[in-house]
Amino acid sequence: MSAQIDSTTLRSRPSTCTRGSPLRRFAIGVPALRITRAVTTTLTLSLSVPALAGPLRLLFERDVDGPGGTELAINTYPSFADFFAGTNFTSQFSAINVNAPYSVGGITWDGTAYQVLFERDIDGPGGTELAINTYPTLADFFAGTNFTSQFSAINVNSPYSVGGITWDGIAYRVLFERDIDTAGGTELAINSYATLADFFSGNALSSQFSSINVNAPYSVGGFAYDANGYHVLFERDEDSAGGIELAINSYATLADFFAGTNFTSQFSTINVNAPYSVHGFLIEPDAEGDPGTGNDPGSDDPGGSGDPNTVPEPDPLALLATATAALLVSRRTGRQCFAGR
């Protein structure tokens, strides 16, 4: 079954809630009522910067409804160092108008096209909850044209939501995050799908929880893979200065992610502007289109000895940094979400 998530028709999204109370949440299984999320994320500040195959792209979505051309945008950073410094980037809006009641759940490049995952904000049966729009090129994404769209049969169970999607050369990895706070071992999970057809049919290759305990006040904003490993982007749920708003944890292998060990973590100086939030990120493949060598950290191994149970304070000097992006500067007083988006 195919469906078009993009639209040229503006849809109203009536009520709002604070950023700390997102409405999207559910994992595979039974639909249920939405619950206010008390978020947590484990961030260990480190100064090591992982290498990557190509540029890092952050997808931002507007928290309050707006016309196409103002709803989705991508900031492109040539390297992790540029992302952490908040410099040397380009920024561009897409003409896409996201239909209520959906929001972006993640974005990835699978070697053939850009796959943008949408998740329904209010509970619905399998076949209406998750969908992927496929864009052959980034230009198509920005123009909102030349795409295909299809729903998945997956029924995301309460109290989980999609935190991101990535293709690692072996499978599509969909990261789910629990919406209400809980102990490590039940907060983050990955479902793996060998092909897009498997994702659409809900035929998971595997499903596994991570022992990571996400500390408040952070939530997952995206999930990406490159030759150095798996990278989880965290975004602060409440407004704050640049230097403590966005951070990336890098895990050399999926086993490290599931164990919550052997990782590095670093904050970015970027200050996200109201009314936008991060809804996905990807790492572009190299010039040959190769996303990496699958779980081979190589000589630029980002893995470290980070303790997943400690969250040190960020460097006070970082709080003085003011990285600004076309969409990023002084920011929302609280993440705006909406019933029916």
134, two tokens = 């496929």
Highest mean pLDDT among 13-17, 173-177, 334-338: 173-177
Q: How many CB atoms neighbour CB 113 within 10 A?
A: 19
How many alpha carbons lie under 13 Å from residue 57 in its C-beta half-sphere? 22
Residue 139 has pLDDT above 50, yes or no: yes
What are 4-25's pLDDT values in tens digits? 433 322 222 223 333 333 333 2
Per-residue pLDDT at 62: 96
Q: Determine the Cα–Cα distance for residues 226 and 294; give it in Å rounded to an integer.
A: 8
Q: Is 76 within 8 Å of 68 (Cβ atoms)?
A: no
Q: Is 250 exposed, middle or buried (0-12, 13-18, 19+ CB in 10 A)?
A: buried
Q: How many CB atoms neighbour CB 316 within 10 A?
A: 8
Per-residue pLDDT at 167: 98
Sign for the CA dihedral angle at 95, 97, 103, 109 comes to: negative
pTM: 0.75
**For 209-220, what is the mean pLDDT?**
95
What does 292-328 look like in DSSP terms, one character per residue?
-SSS--GGG-------TT--PPPPGGGGG--B-BTTB
**For 208-236, what is the mean pLDDT?**
96
Per-residue pLDDT at 171: 98
Which residue do the tokens 């994702």 mark?
A: 199
Q: Determine the Cα–Cα distance for residues 54 and 178; give it in Å rounded to an integer.
A: 31
